[in-house]
Structure 1
Amino acid sequence: MGIVYRSRKKIGPLVLNFTENGYSSWSLKIGRWSWNSKTRAHRVDLPGPLSWKQDKSRSR
């Protein structure tokens, strides 16, 4: 397993994700809810270290 470069740039509720190859995806985070453009998954942060995720494949 090698070292992987990842970077995030936050602009208000919009988060831009970058890897060593450049732009990767964008995310929208409002409160505890977030959505990622690459995985098209919804995520809700729950209390503590828990979170709930709904994948695009399961939402249909």
Structure 2
Amino acid sequence: MGVMFRKRQKFGPLILNFTEHGFSSWSIKIGRWSWNSRARAHRVDLPGPLSWKQNKSRRRERASDHR
């Protein structure tokens, strides 16, 4: 397994994520709640090492669905 480069820049509640290829995604974190643009997931930090995550992936609608 190779070494990976990752960097995070924080601007208040806004977090910008970078990889070796450049900009990767952005996140917003307010208190224990956060949302990530790449995963499109809501996450809530729970006590201890636990967290809860709900995926919010986009569902593409096809033309055949609108009959």
- Tell me, which stretches of 5 or more residues in structure 1 are unaligned? none
Root-mean-square deviation (CA, aligned residues, Å) is 0.7
Paired residue total: 57
Relative to its length, the structure with more helix (as a share) is: 2
Poorly superposed stretches of 4+, deviation over 3 Å = none
Which residue type is aligned with residue 32 of structure 2? R
Q: TM-score with structure 2 length normalisation?
A: 0.83
Which residue type is aligned with residue 47 of structure 1? P
Aligned to 2:46: 46
Matched, 1:35 2:35: yes
- Asked which structure has the greater CA Rg, the reply is 2
The sequence identity of aligned pairs, in percent, is 77
Q: TM-score with structure 1 length normalisation?
A: 0.92
- Give 1:56 deviation, angstroms: 1.8
